[in-house]
């Protein structure tokens, strides 16, 4: 998720849930080719298993960006065919490419030829008036034939005219049943459903119908929910409690600050850690206020922890 799942966020979420697959923010193939690669792609080994999400429409550039990303050690290369933003669409990237399955297939084939890790696609159930099942099935058939074995499907269509990305995550109705049907009709593919999941029972019900569930906003807003997901669906638990996560992040923040990272860039991902439990407000307020200053150090986390404990 853009502006959310940067490396600090992923490190934090990994402390909570050791087994879940994590995804980077979307990064364009052009940025990988021409930008600061260490900044764009660098990550901590503790983040595994982690997928990088690329955006692009040129097979050669995507292949080269995939090769570079695989060299950094990513476990999966994911291609974004779901972003509806006007800026992304005007670059002929993201969701609008659902209308060009042959091009997407050529991209996937080139990426596959460049790396040994899986190449996956994240997409929508349709775009604009192309919202019948045949359109989705045609896209998936073509792209799967090029070597994509996993589709992560946000169960809303994207409206490419006149809706902001934010509205495109709420206005078009959620239709999980379309993704469930996709799995029925393509049982050989790994189908992961995405969109609106915020309860363990909801995830459990979906897992009866598809191979996986991707969480977006719930993970960002209520990160400890991932500990419950880990415990219920992956058996082994993560760290024993929130305090242990904070202490692990205290050590991380100290290391990162020594490399010039500002504490706020790490702590901003942690504001929701105590959501729904006593002390949540104190934690959030203390951390937000104290971590932003120029004199903030890693100890701001221990002080915030004390603020929760005092409740
Ligand atoms: C702030 C924000 C940034 C997002 N950035 C991306 C992105 O970079 N790539 C992507 O595939 N989806 C992105 N999404 C969409 C989510 O991955 C997900 O498909 C969508 O929010 C629906 O799932 P949810 O209801 O679990 O949040 C973003 C969503 C949000 C809220």
pLDDT in tens, 95-138: 999 999 999 999 999 999 999 999 999 999 999 999 999 999 99
> Ligand 1 centre from 168 Cα, in Å?
10
pLDDT in tens, 280-291: 999 999 999 999
Three-state DSSP class for residue 191 = strand
As a whole number of angstroms, the distance between CA 251 and CA 299 comes to 9
pLDDT in tens, 35-49: 999 999 999 999 999
**Active-site entry in 83, 96, 107, 148:** 83
The mean pLDDT value of the chain amounts to 96
List residues near ligand 1 (CB under 6 A): 1-4, 25-26, 53, 80, 82-83, 122, 154, 169, 194-197, 215-218
Nearest protein Cα to ligand 1, atom 2 = 1
Overall pTM surpassing 0.95 (yes/no): yes
9 noted as active-site residue = no
Pick the CATH number of 242-309 from 3.40.50.180, 3.30.710.10, 1.20.120.1460, 2.60.410.10: 1.20.120.1460
- The whole-number pLDDT of residue 311 equals 66
Cis peptide before 225 (omega within 30 of 0): no
- The whole-number pLDDT of residue 236 equals 73
As a whole number of angstroms, the distance between CA 302 and CA 267 comes to 12
pLDDT band at residue 11 using 50, 70 and 90 as cut-offs: very high
**Phi, psi for residue 279 in degrees, rounded to 5:** 95, -5
pLDDT in tens, 163-216: 999 999 999 999 999 999 999 999 999 999 999 999 999 999 999 999 999 999
Q: Is the CATH code 3.20.20.70 the one for domain 7-233?
A: yes
- What are the residue boundaries of the structural domains of the chain, listed by start? 7-233, 242-309
> Ligand 1 centre from 169 Cα, in Å?
8
According to DSSP H, which parts of the chain are helical?
7-16, 29-34, 37-41, 59-72, 86-90, 101-114, 133-145, 176-185, 200-207, 217-221, 225-233, 242-258, 263-267, 280-291, 299-309
Nearest protein Cα to ligand 1, atom 21 = 216
> Ligand 1 centre from 277 Cα, in Å?
26
């Amino acid at each position: 998720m853009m502006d959310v799942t940067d490396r600090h966020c992923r490190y934090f979420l990994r402390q909570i849930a050791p087994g879940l697959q994590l995804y980077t923010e979307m990064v364009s193939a052009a940025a990988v080719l021409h930008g600061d690669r260490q900044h764009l792609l660098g990550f901590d080994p503790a983040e595994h298993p982690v997928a990088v999400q690329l955006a692009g429409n040129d097979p050669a550039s995507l292949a080269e960006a995939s090769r570079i990303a695989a060299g950094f050690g990513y476990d999966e290369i994911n291609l974004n065919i779901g972003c509806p933003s006007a800026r992304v669409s005007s670059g002929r990237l993201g969701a609008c490419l659902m209308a060009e399955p042959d091009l997407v297939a050529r991209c996937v084939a080139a990426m596959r030829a460049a790396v040994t890790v899986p190449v996956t696609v994240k997409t929508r159930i349709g775009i604009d008036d192309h919202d019948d099942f045949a359109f989705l099935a045609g896209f998936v058939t073509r792209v799967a034939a090029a070597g994509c074995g996993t589709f992560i499907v946000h169960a809303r269509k994207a409206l490419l005219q006149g809706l902001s990305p934010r509205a495109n995550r709420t206005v078009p109705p959620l239709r999980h049943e379309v993704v469930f049907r996709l799995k029925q009709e393509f049982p050989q593919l790994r189908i992961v459903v995405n969109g609106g999941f915020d309860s363990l029972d909801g995830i459990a019900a979906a897992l009866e119908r598809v191979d996986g569930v991707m969480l977006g906003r719930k993970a960002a807003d209520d990160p400890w929910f991932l500990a419950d997901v880990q415990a219920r669906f992956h058996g082994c638990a993560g760290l024993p409690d929130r305090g242990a996560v904070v202490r692990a992040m205290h050590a991380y923040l100290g290391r990162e600050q020594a490399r010039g990272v500002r504490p706020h860039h790490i702590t901003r991902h942690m504001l929701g850690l105590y959501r729904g439990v006593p002390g949540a407000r104190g934690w959030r307020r203390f951390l937000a206020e104290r971590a932003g200053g120029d004199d903030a150090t890693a100890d701001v986390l221990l002080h915030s922890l004390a603020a929760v404990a005092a409740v």
